[in-house]
Amino acid sequence: MPTDLSLCGVIRNIKLCVVSGWHIIPLDVELDTRHTMIELLHCDCMEYMATVPDKYFDLAIVDPPYGIGISSNPVRQMHDKKKWDDTTPNDEYFDELKRISKHQIIWGGNYFNLPPSQGFLIWDKKQPHDFSLAMCEFAWSSIQSPAKMFRFSVLAEKGKQHPTQKPVALYNWLLTNYAKKGQRVFDSHLGSASSAIAAHYFGVDFVGTELDKDYFEAAKARFDMATRQLAMSI
């Protein structure tokens, strides 16, 4: 693993940091009972993945842009309009993702050119039939196991700071079913940091990248608050 991207971390007394523009910034959080390393990186995921050895991560759980212009939806107008969802990632992105990870879970798999898989996943948002947005979301998985469904209301988690924010409970369910404690997990589009928070709670090493500075700063603050709350409860 490249040392210039490595998080400050020691066994039994982990100090959490983020890397912004390749510079390490410590998060003011210390926990005495965790054995995990969490990295939040403000950088282009393609640039980061180019530095990672083959099959370094046990699992990649990603939620890349679907290319459907979600920011233009009237329901999303509480968030700043940005063009991050105008296009989908190219083939090089998916090739790199498969190169650096042993298995992949890719949200929005129905929008991408991915091979057939029996291990697809569904998030049932528990919304009424007249709900103006999608009642569920689909994830493609390279893990050849029976398809699974997770039911959790999209309204159950308050305080959304990203237009496509997914709940921490969803990522915790994914880690519980598809990862083991101590493994390495990667998220190429950190967004609101739900994946990082779940990884910290569950006990896996984690790297998440986010290109947008505003989203990154918000994700960092949310992660900091969540880990503070956990530290206070121990």
**pLDDT tens figures, 39-78:** 999 999 999 999 999 999 999 999 999 887 665 555 554 5
**57 near 100, Cβ under 8 Å?**
yes
Residue 94 domain-assigned (yes or no): yes
Percent of the chain with pLDDT over 70: 74
- Tell me the pLDDT tens digit for each residue of 105-136: 999 999 899 999 999 999 999 988 877 678 99
* Model confidence band, residue 6 (pLDDT cutoffs 50, 70, 90): very low
| Total structural domains within the chain | 1
Residue 108 domain-assigned (yes or no): yes
Residue 13 domain-assigned (yes or no): no
| pLDDT of amino acid 22 | 34
**79 near 111, Cβ under 8 Å?**
no
Residue 115 domain-assigned (yes or no): yes
| Bigger pLDDT: 71 vs 190 | 190
Please state, as a whole number, how many other Cβ atoms lie within 10 Å of the Cβ of residue 59: 23
Residue 17 domain-assigned (yes or no): no
| Bigger pLDDT: 17 vs 164 | 164
Residue 27 domain-assigned (yes or no): no
User: Mean pLDDT: which of 146-155, 159-168, 177-186 is highest?
Assistant: 177-186
| Bigger pLDDT: 81 vs 51 | 51
* Mean pLDDT, all residues of the chain: 81
Domain extent for 219: 32-233
Q: How far apart are CA 2 and CA 127, in angstroms?
A: 44
Is 50 exceeded by the pLDDT of residue 179? yes
| pLDDT of amino acid 218 | 93
DSSP 90: -
Strand order in the sheet with 23-31: 23-31, 14-20, 38-42, 205-209, 184-187, 57-62, 101-107, 136-141, 121-124, 148-151
CATH of the domain at 115: 3.40.50.150
Residue 24 domain-assigned (yes or no): no
| pLDDT of amino acid 71 | 57
Helix (H) or strand (E) holding 101: strand 101-107
Residue 221 domain-assigned (yes or no): yes
| pLDDT of amino acid 25 | 37
